Amino acid sequence: MTAEAIIERDVIVPAVTDASRTPFSWSAAIAGTLAAMAVAFIIMALGSGIGLSFASPYGSGPSATSLTVAAAVWLVMAQTMGFATGGYLAGRLRSPAYDWVIGETTFRDAAQGFIVWALGAVAMAAFVGLIGYLAASAATQAAAGAATGVGVAAHNEPASTPAAATDYFVDLLFRPGPAPTTASTPRPSDTVGLAAAGAQPGLNAETRAEVTRILVRSIGQGRLDDNDRGYLAQVVSARTGLPPDEAQRRVAEVETKAREAVKEAADKTAKAGAYFSFWTFMSLLFGATAATLGGILGGQLRDAEGRLA
């Protein structure tokens, strides 16, 4: 003998004219998304004002690390409050008249709030992608400007140009050492060598541009070729009056400093990218949870007021 279990569920059969209606409301979802982004923007603007009031270029205020952590936490709070508001409005504005199946109202209110978060996340991703594209274009132009440092050197552009960092190491190569004060008390030779003050001839634009290209290529390759190292030592010795061994030492030290500067910049960029990814994930996670719970809350209050009416 087989036992049959019959599960009964209350099902509302829609009328023929209402069969094309859907329980999901795009207008409510879009309105909730706009509200969420507006609220989040207001809160982030307030946080920016508070952060700038505490920041100080003289080191008397909070450290950069403290401000960064506070800004990240504030971003999570702004996303949470914004999407909670958007999800609540979307759930409150959605009509449950076409849910058909009793008991699905809560789920569909939650889905309405979640879609608000999804639309907001897509909009923010598009905005961040646009900013990233513009930043990548600027970085490409900066790299091209640094690699072709001829124009920068020839026209004596200010230090804010893309090749300013490379120009510093070129200046370091051809920097003359201090002259001894007296013949009886000579100054000890430092690690980059000494040259008599005023003995350095002028460095023309062509030579400076050539040295800049060599340094940029060595930074890109991670090492300086032996031929380039020997040539730079000759140029440094001729321009500064340093002995060949001192010129070789200066070239090696400048190469090391340039490599360390690039490595430090790359490490900072990697850490900043990791922090940005982590806090973006946290803000999106809290925003999705807040939007879903907001949609449920909005639907419950909507139905409660409907029953009281």
What pLDDT digit, counting tens, does each position of 63-91 carry? 888 888 899 999 999 999 999 999 999 99
Evaluate if pTM is beyond 0.75: no
Phi, psi angle pair for 101, to nearest 5°: -95, 120
Percent of the chain exceeding pLDDT 70 equals 72
Contact 288, 83 (CB under 8 A): yes
Please tell me whether residue 104 adopts helix, strand or coil conformation: coil
At 89, list the tokens.
């409005």
**DSSP structure class, residue 11:** B
**DSSP structure class, residue 17:** G
DSSP per-residue string spanning 135-201: HHHHHHHHHHHHHTTHHHHHHT--TTSTTHHHHHHHHHHTPPPPPPS-SSSPPPP-TT----TT-PP
Alpha carbon 113 to chain centroid distance? 28
With a cut of 70, list the residues of the chain below it in pLDDT.
Answer: 1-21, 59, 97-102, 139, 142-165, 177-203, 306-309
The full length of the chain comes to 309
Contact 55, 68 (CB under 8 A): no
DSSP per-residue string spanning 271-283: HHHHHHHHHHHHH
Angle between helices 64-93 and 244-308 (to 10 degrees): 30
